[in-house]
Structure 1
Amino acid sequence: MPLTFTLDPPVTPGLRDGILELWVDVTEAGGAVGFVPPVTREDVRPELVRQFVAMEERRSRLLVGFDEEGRVAATAFLTLNTHRLMTHWIWLYTVMVHPRHQGKGYGRDLLAAAERAARTLPGVEAIRLTCRGGLGLEGFYGSCGYKEVGRVPAAIRVAPGDDRDDVIMLLPLT
């Protein structure tokens, strides 16, 4: 059954807890979403609060995919650029699909929903994201229409002696 996507859902305690659970579960399963395992809700909570602040300040939008049981199954943050010379593109951050739903095409559905949402934003001509090299993510994003436009070698230190490239991807909307 497909996910139901909602842009800017009301932030309730249930939504907050669902995103925290998702973020921890994705990280624990090896997902490249800003942390490395082991991670707890308390580790993730400050980053989620920063995202909620950006939403309150209207600098970021939250896209949530709910499963058939109404649980948070996928998320992404669409973040506006505040630099006056870069307002024609947005960032896509923290793209996550819960491990129990991976392999069902929901990642592609999430990216398609993010693209639809971005197309509703005035003046936005592209979506930019970065991903951690060494996991094949650039291949996945490439299959969804994103193009690799840059790479910073060894920019992400996962652990001592384990540095990964920061891969920059772009999806033109025009």
Structure 2
Amino acid sequence: MSTVRRADAPALTALLHDLAGLLTDTVDSGASVGFLASFDHAEATAWWRERVAAVAAGRLFVWVAEEDGRVTGTVSIALPDKPNSRHRAELVKLMVSPTVRGKGVGRVLLTTAERAAAGLGITLLHLDTETDSPAERLYRGAGWTPAGVIPDFAENPAGVLRPATVYFKRLGAVPAGG
């Protein structure tokens, strides 16, 4: 089973190559995580490198799952930059290596991120995911609530416009007025 740890900026930097491989494998397997099929390892490395500053600034939290020294998954929480939204965050880029899908890695990453968010005082998480995707089944099974479907939200890796379902999950006490 994979172990999950939070990656600070130096750890993220040290894992750039492996995280880029996970990202390209995820896109190559058809998962819609924001990139098209022509996405390569160099572009994936550059994308992850851009995340390091946000992690160092405390605006992004990243967890990495590893098994036998190999990165098997990741998930992040992006904090908003507006004063009126300090109670919420966005769950982003939950990715699981195609070689370990169906073995509970996604569920462990999701639970880890939810617990950490609650520990940060976040009471509401939200996300969007491709409608009818395996990821959507994971979120529903973990108690996330669908808020609605947006048609033609984003292109999948093959370049086809697909709808996305927006989800939310309450983590704790609802803030005043909520």
**When the two structures are superposed, what TM-score results if normalisation uses the length of structure 1?**
0.89
Offset from partner CA, 1:130-161 (integer Å, 9 cap, x none): 1122424322211111111132211213356x
Residue 85 to residue 150, structure 1, CA distance change in 2 (3 Å): farther
Are the aligned partners of 2:16 and 2:49 in contact in 1 as well (CA < 8 Å)? no
Return the offset for 1:105: 1.3
Superposed displacement of residue 94, structure 1: 0.7
Deviation at 1:46, TM superposition (A): 3.0
Give how far 1:51 is off.
1.5
Which residue of the partner structure matches residue 4 of structure 1? 3
State whether residues 127 and 171 of structure 1, in contact with CA within 8 Å, keep that contact through their aligned partners in structure 2: yes
Once residues 152 and 171 of structure 1 are traced to their aligned partners in structure 2, the CA distance between those partners, rounded to angstroms, is: 18
Q: Give 1:24-63 correspondences, 5 Å limit.
A: 24-63=24-63
Matched with 2:116 is 117
C-alpha change, 1:36 and 1:12, in structure 2 (3 Å) is closer
Match of residue 91 from structure 1: 90
Question: Counterparts of 2:169 and 2:12 in 1: how far apart (Å)?
Answer: 31
8 Å CA contact retained: 1:138, 1:148:
no
Contact 1:155 1:164 in 2 (8 A): yes
5+ unaligned residues in a row in structure 1: which ranges? none
The DSSP-based 3-state class of the residue aligned with 1:100 is: coil
Check the 8 A contact 1:125/1:172 in 2, yes or no. yes
**Identity in percent:** 26
1:157 paired with 2:175, answer no
Structure with larger RCO (C-alpha < 8 A, sep 6+): 2
TM superposition outliers: structure 1 runs of 4+ over 6 Å: none
* Mapped partners of 1:13, 1:83: distance in 2: 27
Residue correspondences, number: 170
Q: State how far apart, in whole Å, the 1-side matches of 2:137 and 2:20 are.
A: 27
Q: Report deviation, 1:100.
A: 0.7
Q: Is the 8 A contact 1:7 1:117 kept in 2?
A: no
